[in-house]
Structure 1
Amino acid sequence: MDVKTATRVLDVFNLFAEQQKPLLYSEIASAMGIPLSSCHGLLKTMVAKGYLYELGKKSGYYPTQKLLHVASVICRRDPLVTALEPVLLTVRDSTRETAILAKLADRQVVYLSVVESTQTIRYSHQPGGFKSLHATSSGKALVSVLDPKGRRALLDSYTDWTPITPNTLPSRERFEQDVAAGVARRWQRSVGENVEDVMSLAFGFRVHEQSFAIVVAGPVARMQKHEEEIARIFPAIRQQLADVLAPTRIDFDTGDPE
């Protein structure tokens, strides 16, 4: 399977997730912008592998439960996310806001796990979603725990400082200043920099030399009101992380300037 075909398979699943209804192959081809013949062959292969079924010639296709089964088996054996689930639950329950496990993925932030707040108005996001490095507390936290050489190399290669909101830090200089301030207080902050009405706090850590972050996110007004209270629980969360990850190579807050 080449890269284009692999991408198309994922696009098919994402399309069904968006539409949430059976789709004709002509509708799938149109939505994905690919030739009918290519789409037909792709869908037939997915049917043959058990991931799609055809409701009828004029009724379209829909995913089977196989994808759910395979994904469930995979997720149950995720060594890090499974180990850190109790930590995220503690963060969510202690702050009453959404708790997120994030990781540095090339020059972006990827959300590995999201435990949503139980409050009616809350920050919501799908696991697997990507965020800009320069406009999020998670990005700042992930950068903060890189060694100086790694941090410099990453920021040298990061060229898109396009503002996402009026509050986005517009330059590398401003970003590095903000990260340095966060390192001094031992947690990072983003106030409406990625989404105008969302604020988040985060701190970074490393596992097997990879950068991760724990993030707390919620509506700006509520987060600002409870910012100090949320920050006060971070030492206990760090200790819980250390206890959970004791068998692994973990190093907290290694982004301190030397």
Structure 2
Amino acid sequence: MEPELGTVQSVARAFHLIEFIARSREEITLSALAEATELPLPTIHRLLRTLVSLGYVRQLPNRRYALGPKLIHVGEVASLQMGAWARPHLAAVVEQLGETANMAILDGDRATYVAQVPSTHSMRMFTEIGRRVHTHSSGVGKALLAFLDEEHVQGIVAQAGLPVATPQTIGTAEALARELDLIRGRGYAIDDGEQELGVRCVAVHVPNMPIPTAISVSGPVARIDDGFAERAIPLLRQAASEISAEATHVTLLS
């Protein structure tokens, strides 16, 4: 876990610890952190003590460590900023297709919408920014799940379950696995009235993002037919590529 040239070693190590605690998705011991990071225990203890004092890490009564409440605010602001710079790319999709475009990120066991450019139609899909939806029954959610490892998907299903919102909603783990295989093969997800009757959505995964991300275009089934999907998919893929490139550029500058 050696930092890159020109970086501050202690800062890099502190963020590596935060990232590892986040990836573990559960409380973690000091010894497990030492084994994973190959840092000396005194170094890890000193870094954790600082992070705990700042609120970015919590030490629990059982002496294990977990992410702290300060990160909630940081994450919320980061999501808003990410939505702001993705919005022009979503606007280009709306300009071409005339339907609502959204961006969502994986937020625990749900997908959370962080950006939206609405359709100009009076009859359109209303999904407010900040809304959290189940991953198995939404286009963006299934696009996110399809590019996670199997263990992560199983963890999300175990935690959130597979509640059935409409007769079209996937209700079993076996059916979800088949759907995710299909999405990986064709490169996009479809929500055909699975989250809300009368609404159809086409979504794609945004590659190389710091957090799993997907974008979509959605609207009433009367307007989102097979021909619409064929037009939408190349535009969504182009927007996803541009968002990914911009995120990489921001990361390199930071």
Q: Same fold (TM over 0.5)?
A: yes
The one-letter code matched in structure 2 to 1:222 is R
1:212 to partner: Cα distance = 1.1
1:183 to partner: Cα distance = 1.2
* Deviation string, structure 1 residues 52-89 (Cα, Å, up to 9, x no partner): xxxxxxxxxxxxxxxxxxxxxx9799431122111111
Separation in 1, partners of 2:98, 2:173: 33
Which residue of structure 2 lines up, in the alignment, with residue 178 of structure 1?
Answer: 179
CA contact (8 A) 1:145 1:206 kept: no
TM-score (norm 1): 0.62
Q: Percent identity?
A: 22
Which residue of structure 1 lines up, in the alignment, with residue 92 of structure 2?
Answer: 90
CA contact (8 A) 1:208 1:248 kept: no
Which residue of structure 2 lines up, in the alignment, with residue 203 of structure 1?
Answer: 204
Structure number with the bigger relative contact order (C-alpha 8 A, sep ≥ 6) is: 1
- Structure 1 pair 222/152, CA: closer, same or farther in 2 (3 Å)? same
Separation in 2, partners of 1:210, 1:249: 12
1:184 to partner: Cα distance = 0.8
TM-score (norm 2): 0.63
1:88-127 correspondence to structure 2 within 5 Å:
88-127=90-129
1:190 to partner: Cα distance = 0.7
Structure 2 alignment gaps of length 5 or more: 1-75
CA contact (8 A) 1:163 1:169 kept: yes
State the aligned residue count.
176
SS at match of 1:247: helix
CA contact (8 A) 2:79 2:114 kept: no
SS at match of 1:222: coil
RMSD of aligned Cα (Å): 2.4
Which residue of structure 1 lines up, in the alignment, with residue 46 of structure 2?
Answer: none
1:247 to partner: Cα distance = 2.0
1:206 to partner: Cα distance = 5.0
The one-letter code matched in structure 2 to 1:172 is A
SS at match of 2:249: coil
Separation in 1, partners of 2:156, 2:163: 17
SS at match of 2:122: coil
Which residue of structure 2 lines up, in the alignment, with residue 42 of structure 1?
Answer: none
Which residue of structure 1 lines up, in the alignment, with residue 242 of structure 2?
Answer: 240
The one-letter code matched in structure 1 to 2:135 is L
* Deviation string, structure 1 residues 210-252 (Cα, Å, up to 9, x no partner): 11110111011211141111113233223322332232569xx
